[in-house]
């Protein structure tokens, strides 16, 4: 597990946390897309877990254009306040560009063989959806992405497998937004939407206020099988 530097498409370089599986063989790649709290301990632990599952996992710092190296505590007011400021100043377009640069970088790594997927949470959940619509990522999973309804018109561009996990009681979204997403994805043969009754935002974030072990286990199990089928098969 180490930090690496990736060349941006326009200028400069940004850091990323890299975790590789044991052994010397090749493995599929996985981009872990951050929440609004940066590349903190939670995101690094997710990367480590994907490495343990047999993926070369990387989490790029998407806030680097505002402030490099952000690592915030999601359980403190200061962490939330800083995260919301960064989120308000975040360029979604540039974020996707940096993820596409990460995808290109990952595909050149000697340990990576075969396909590359991405998984994102919160902010990263929407960005995972946008990677499915704007890039050639081999498969994508988004957890409780906020604002996907506003970009649901892009769904027709999806040509690779996409899975979304939605919290039906998401405090940052609405039932109307969930319906828009469900209706927009209905004709897309490559897209699957799972909704979780009674769950609030970030139900799969371990240690978080709304963490629900049962729902998280179900969502994570579905995700693991999805990537096994689409990246390892």
Please give the helix or strand (H or E) that residue 17 lies within, else none: strand 13-19
Catalytic residue among 61, 170, 200, 212: 170
Contact criterion met (CB below 8 Å) for 30 and 138: no
| Active-site residue flag, 170 | yes
DSSP letter, residue 161 = -
**Nearest 5°: CA angle at 19, between 23 and 140?**
110
Angstrom distance (rounded) from CA 170 to CA 201? 5
| Active-site residue flag, 11 | no
Taking each helix axis as running N to C, give the angle between helix 123-134 and helix 92-107, from 0 to 180 degrees, rounded to the nearest 10: 70
Catalytic residue among 98, 165, 201, 212: 201
Structure token pair of residue 114: 């075969």
- Neighbour-count burial of 110, counting CB atoms closer than 10 A to its CB (0-12 exposed, 13-18 middle, 19+ buried): exposed
Angstrom distance (rounded) from CA 206 to CA 165? 16
Catalytic sites, residue numbers: 170, 201
């Amino acid at each position: 597990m180490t930090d690496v530097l990736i060349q941006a498409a326009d200028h400069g370089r940004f850091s990323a946390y890299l975790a590789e599986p044991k052994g010397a063989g090749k493995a599929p790649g996985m981009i872990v897309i951050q929440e609004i709290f940066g590349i903190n301990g939670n995101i690094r632990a997710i990367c480590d877990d994907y490495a343990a599952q047999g993926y070369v996992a990387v989490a790029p710092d998407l806030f680097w254009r505002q402030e490099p190296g952000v690592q915030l505590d999601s359980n403190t007011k200061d962490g939330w306040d800083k995260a919301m400021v960064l989120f308000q100043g975040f360029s979604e377009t540039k974020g996707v560009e940096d993820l596409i640069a990460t995808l290109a970088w990952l595909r050149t790594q000697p340990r990576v063989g075969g396909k590359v997927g991405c998984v994102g949470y919160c902010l990263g959940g929407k960005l995972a959806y946008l990677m499915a619509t704007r890039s050639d990522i081999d498969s994508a999973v988004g957890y409780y992405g906020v604002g996907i309804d506003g970009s649901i018109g892009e769904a027709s561009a999806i040509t690779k497998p996409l899975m979304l996990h939605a919290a039906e009681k998401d405090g940052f979204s609405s039932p109307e937004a969930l319906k828009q997403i469900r209706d927009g994805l209905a004709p897309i043969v490559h897209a699957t939407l799972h909704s979780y009754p009674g769950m609030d935002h970030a139900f799969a974030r371990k240690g978080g206020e709304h963490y629900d072990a049962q729902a998280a286990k179900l969502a994570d199990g579905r995700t693991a099988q999805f990537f096994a089928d689409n990246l390892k098969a």
